[in-house]
Amino acid sequence: MATVASDRNDVGRRTRMQPAGGFTLIEVLVSLMLVAILASMVLTAVQGVTQTARIARTRSIIAIIDSALQEQFEAYKYRPLPVATPDLSTMPADGVSTFGYQLLPSEAARTRLIMMRDLQRMEMPDRISDIGVIQGGAMVMNRPAQITAIANPVVRDGNQLRRSAQRRQVMIDWYNGGKNVPSRFSGYYRRALPTWTPQHQGAECLYMILSSTFVGGAPAIQAIPPSNIGDTDGDGMPEILDGWGQPIAFIRWPSGYQLADSELSIDMSLPDDFDLFRSDFGFTVAGVDPPWSLRPLVLSAGRDGEFGVTLAPGTGAGVEVNFRYHAMSPAVLTPMTWPISPAAMGPEAEGRTGNYFFPDPYLRQVGAVVRPGTPIGLQSLRADNITNYQLATE
């Protein structure tokens, strides 16, 4: 019996001395660490794939927008205008002079240039004020450009320029009671809601432009995925969104997009596509920059949500400046005019008084206004931007 009891005691001691089953605390911590490392690797890979997909989608959307804009932009080179430049030589004889009235060729070319720029402003708006001003719960039209009359026109008799004894008015006014307003501009005007805010106005203008632009017989807006159309600011005006769900910006005339820190800046040596006769005052007036070629700029802020450029003309304090091109447009808009003086206009100043409205993408006569596209902040803010300029260089 003693032997049996001793054996039982030995078995109990051996049982107590054997280690218990399971993991130690150190083993658990090591395992958790390995799981965390693997999870972070998987998460990083997934995020990388997600970011790549967003970039690819954004580039695709910008390419669609750019294709529609460029087709419209190129068409302006051959676009007939709804108002013809008057040929004063066909006016009836005044009974005094023996020679007819005639516009100077340079002025006739400049008149067409003004009208073409204004047509782009009306049909390719990039902000609310291009269409009008919301006052009293309704949109008040920013009327088509008015070209000031020549009160005392210059006439040509052979090679000599003379002043007419009989004064005649020479004026071009697109508005004409609303009869000459471009149909697309009228469509934008009707669609503008009184709740429209300037927060994402470029993306909202893009939506309107693509809705009225047809590619292959269908509205270009149909090529934009529905998930990339939204109203992030809640003003009732749809916006085109990038891969991150942020509104895409649009600058029709990015005259400030001359980045010292980027190879994708504007080449100021390229001539203006719409001024073949070099009729802009910058070619003839000392101290004024001649125009250069401007292409519409479409850009996404990228992952960081920061554009790093000025999206609309403004003051150094960031206050947006909006312009009018007609004496009867809303007075809250700043008149965009050219000075009437021999120094600023040459011989075309003769016989003119009042304001000479002159749509100027380069903002050369409007004081200290920051041009659209001008870089602001650090270069890092622009490093992840995606633009149609990038697509054009690839």
Q: Per residue in 121-163, pLDDT tens?
A: 999 999 999 999 999 889 999 999 887 666 555 555 555 555 5
Percent of the chain with pLDDT over 70: 78
Note whether residue 354 is domain-resident: yes
279-286, long-range: CB < 8 A, 24+ apart: 279/106, 279/107, 279/109, 279/110, 279/112, 279/113, 280/110, 280/113, 281/110, 281/338, 281/344, 281/345, 281/346, 281/358, 282/362, 282/364, 284/346, 285/343, 285/344, 285/345, 285/346, 286/343
Note whether residue 126 is domain-resident: yes
Q: Which residue has the tokens 């401007």?
A: 294
pLDDT at 216: 77
Quick one: pLDDT band at residue 80, thresholds 50, 70, 90? confident
Q: Range with the lowest mean pLDDT among 48-57, 247-256, 259-268, 307-316?
A: 259-268
Mean per-residue pLDDT over the chain, rounded? 81
Note whether residue 320 is domain-resident: yes
pLDDT at 164: 47
Quick one: pLDDT band at residue 18, thresholds 50, 70, 90? low
Segment 312-332 mean pLDDT: 90
Note whether residue 2 is domain-resident: no
Report whether 386 contacts 302 (CB < 8 A).
yes
Note whether residue 166 is domain-resident: yes
Note whether residue 59 is domain-resident: no
pLDDT at 103: 59
Residues 6+ apart with CB under 8 A from 67: 215, 220
Q: Which domain holds residue 127?
A: 81-392
Q: Range with the lowest mean pLDDT among 168-177, 213-222, 316-325?
A: 168-177
Note whether residue 304 is domain-resident: yes
Indicate whether 89 pLDDT > 70: no
The 10s digit of each residue's pLDDT in 21-79 is 566 877 777 777 888 787 777 776 666 668 889 999 999 999 999 999 999 998 998 88
pLDDT at 6: 54
Q: Which one has a higher pLDDT value, 385 or 177?
A: 385
Segment 325-338 mean pLDDT: 92
Task: Tell me how many domains the chain contains.
Answer: 1
pLDDT at 305: 92
Note whether residue 27 is domain-resident: no
